[in-house]
Copies of this chain bind each other. A is one copy, B any other.
Amino acid sequence: MEKQNDETFKIVSLTSEDIRWPTSLQGDGSDAMHTDPDYSCVYVTLKLKNGTKGHGLTFTLGRGTEVVKSAVEAMKHLVIDRNCWEIFHNFGVFWRALTSESQLRWIGPEKGVTHLAVAAIINALWDLWARLEGKPVWQLLVDMEPEVLVSTIDFRYISDVITPEEAINLLKQNSATKTERQNDLLKNGYPAYTTQVGWMGYSDEKIKGLCKDYLLKAYTSFKLKVGRDFESDVRRCKIVRESIGWENQLMIDANQIWDVNQAIEWVIRLAEYKPLWIEEPTSPDDILGHAAISKALEPFNIGVATGEMCANRIMFKQFLQSGAMQFCQIDSARIGGINEILSVYLMAKKLNVKVCPHAGGVGLCEMVQHLQMWDYVSLSATKSGRMIEYVDQQHDQFEYPVEIKNACYMPPRHPGYSTELKQSAINEYKFPNGSWWVANAGTTKPVA
């Protein structure tokens, strides 16, 4: 019997859970715009009739997680009772059906809450697919014929920059040397950088201590949050440069705090600390603004990095087209899952922009490593100037946490997308009825 007609591969349930960790209590993850994040996620579990499960999630910051969960529930009717192979074999078509549902698309389209919900569902489907194939997602992607991989992508609205035929050709370009890179990856892993040293809420002493720790762990690239006030930015840049020296890399991140002209002035005044990039200098929607900032900072050899809050492939397309980003920071949970992220990698390759993924949060490191590793083996064929963000948070909550060795991500070996949470974590942090929230009801700060 064809798998597509085999009843046991029918998706019989989709559950979504609102899970929140009280990270705001420590100031972890704080930046100029997000002063008190409670790292959270909407966690989706799909179950086949034969019992196989797939897990996916999208990252949130606490309040509002219930809104995204409600969007997942609104899409449930598009998934339930479908044979999963029928989905995988027509994945581009399914992806469009999910993102273009004739009534739901009005409240997006393809952005914000509904697209986060799509990401959670799509990530769960890829986890399921990889488990069924007995491979980690990066390997599933690497082993896929270019034509099959490209068939998972919806090229609507990006065909003026890339066509399926071009995408297939890009994937074939370096295929002869794939094994070489795969072996390198298994041996050496993929370079990480750390954001752990410079959260906005951290004291100078804590920053100093963390720089030392991460140097000892072999890190060579360090990211610092900036943008709240200029004097403190200078002080913090100085502390990091004194700690890491000039042979290592410093990146700075403003988390959208500035207007365009203010960004240009502020960053030029920090240029003496030689940051490799300024990340999110202004609104994630301002393509032309980022292009202006990029142009103004070029003489100072400072690149612009953005993407973690870029809404979809259409926005990425324009950032890439217009020289508005020198570092493309795809996020594994904001745009509509792997299918759409693959299209961004392909456009970045064609337009010659380096992809340095956003990670951290909940499960972002776990997921995005798969994609960047596939890119190295199958598409860009180089690690040069590329690295994956690393933050040491919430990994212990997962069944298959990332493994870092010598400041490198080591390729996951377990089948799936590394997205499965421990049942104990769910029991503890499920909101509002998990054991932590029940025990601490009323002791945490009020909702705003």
Residue-wise interface mask of A (235-250) relative to B, using a CB-CB cutoff of 8 A (1 in contact, 0 not) = 0000000000000000
B288 near A106 with CB under 8 A, answer no
B287 near A312 with CB under 8 A, answer no
B289 near A34 with CB under 8 A, answer no
- What chain B residues lie within 8 Å of A318 (beta carbons)? 286-289
B113 near A77 with CB under 8 A, answer no
A267 to B: closest C-beta gap in Å: 15
Which of B155, B159, B311 contacts A285, CB < 8 Å? B311
Which of A68-76, A128-136, A378-386, A388-396 lies at the binding interface? A68-76
Which of A96-104, A343-351, A352-360 lies at the binding interface? A96-104
Residue in B closest to A315 when the chains form the complex, CB atoms: B285
How far is it, in angstroms, between the C-alpha of A235 and the C-alpha of B78 when the chains are bound? Answer: 35
Which of A59-67, A164-172, A178-186, A222-230 lies at the binding interface? A59-67
B64 near A104 with CB under 8 A, answer yes
Which of A35-43, A187-195, A367-375 lies at the binding interface? A35-43
Interface SS, A side? loop
Interface centre among A64, A77, A260, A283 (most CB of B within 10 A): A64
Residue in B closest to A58 when the chains form the complex, CB atoms: B107
Q: Is A322 an interface residue (CB 8 A)?
A: yes
- What chain B residues lie within 8 Å of A111 (beta carbons)? 111-112, 285, 311
Q: Is A114 an interface residue (CB 8 A)?
A: yes
B63 near A74 with CB under 8 A, answer yes
B78 near A71 with CB under 8 A, answer no
How far is it, in angstroms, between the C-alpha of A170 and the C-alpha of B286 when the chains are bound? Answer: 24
A59 to B: closest C-beta gap in Å: 8
B321 near A102 with CB under 8 A, answer no
Q: Given A64-B74, A70-B66, A71-B67, is A107 in contact with B113 using a C-beta cutoff of 8 Å? A: yes
A64 near B259 with CB under 8 A, answer no
- What chain B residues lie within 8 Å of A312 (beta carbons)? 285
A47 to B: closest C-beta gap in Å: 21
B259 near A160 with CB under 8 A, answer yes
A227 to B: closest C-beta gap in Å: 13
Q: Is A105 an interface residue (CB 8 A)?
A: yes
- What chain B residues lie within 8 Å of A155 (beta carbons)? 259
Q: Given A74-B66, A77-B447, A448-B101, is A286 in contact with B314 using a C-beta cutoff of 8 Å? A: yes
- What chain B residues lie within 8 Å of A112 (beta carbons)? 107-108, 111-115
Q: Please tell me how many copies of the chain the complex holds.
A: 2
Residue in B closest to A63 when the chains form the complex, CB atoms: B103
- What chain B residues lie within 8 Å of A322 (beta carbons)? 288
- What chain B residues lie within 8 Å of A38 (beta carbons)? 103
Q: Given A77-B447, A111-B111, A159-B259, is A63 in contact with B104 using a C-beta cutoff of 8 Å? A: yes
A391 to B: closest C-beta gap in Å: 16
- What chain B residues lie within 8 Å of A261 (beta carbons)? 159-160
- What chain B residues lie within 8 Å of A447 (beta carbons)? 77
A36 near B103 with CB under 8 A, answer yes
Q: Given A77-B447, A101-B63, is A113 in contact with B71 using a C-beta cutoff of 8 Å? A: yes
Q: Is A401 an interface residue (CB 8 A)?
A: no
- What chain B residues lie within 8 Å of A314 (beta carbons)? 283, 285-286, 289
B107 near A260 with CB under 8 A, answer no
Q: Given A105-B34, A160-B292, A448-B77, is A114 in contact with B285 using a C-beta cutoff of 8 Å? A: no
A36 to B: closest C-beta gap in Å: 6
A2 to B: closest C-beta gap in Å: 25
Q: Is A109 an interface residue (CB 8 A)?
A: yes
Residue-wise interface mask of A (302-343) relative to B, using a CB-CB cutoff of 8 A (1 in contact, 0 not) = 000000010110110110011000000000000000000000
B36 near A68 with CB under 8 A, answer no
Given contact pairs A33-B105, A157-B259, enumerate 4 new A-B contacts (beta carbons under 8 Å).
A33-B100, A38-B103, A155-B259, A157-B289
Leading 5 A-B pairs by shortest Cβ distance: A112-B112, A113-B113, A160-B260, A63-B103, A62-B103
**25 A-B pairs, CB-CB below 8 angstroms?**
A36-B102, A36-B103, A37-B106, A60-B106, A61-B106, A61-B107, A64-B107, A67-B74, A71-B113, A77-B448, A78-B448, A107-B112, A110-B285, A112-B112, A113-B113, A155-B259, A157-B260, A158-B259, A160-B259, A285-B315, A286-B314, A287-B287, A287-B318, A288-B318, A288-B321
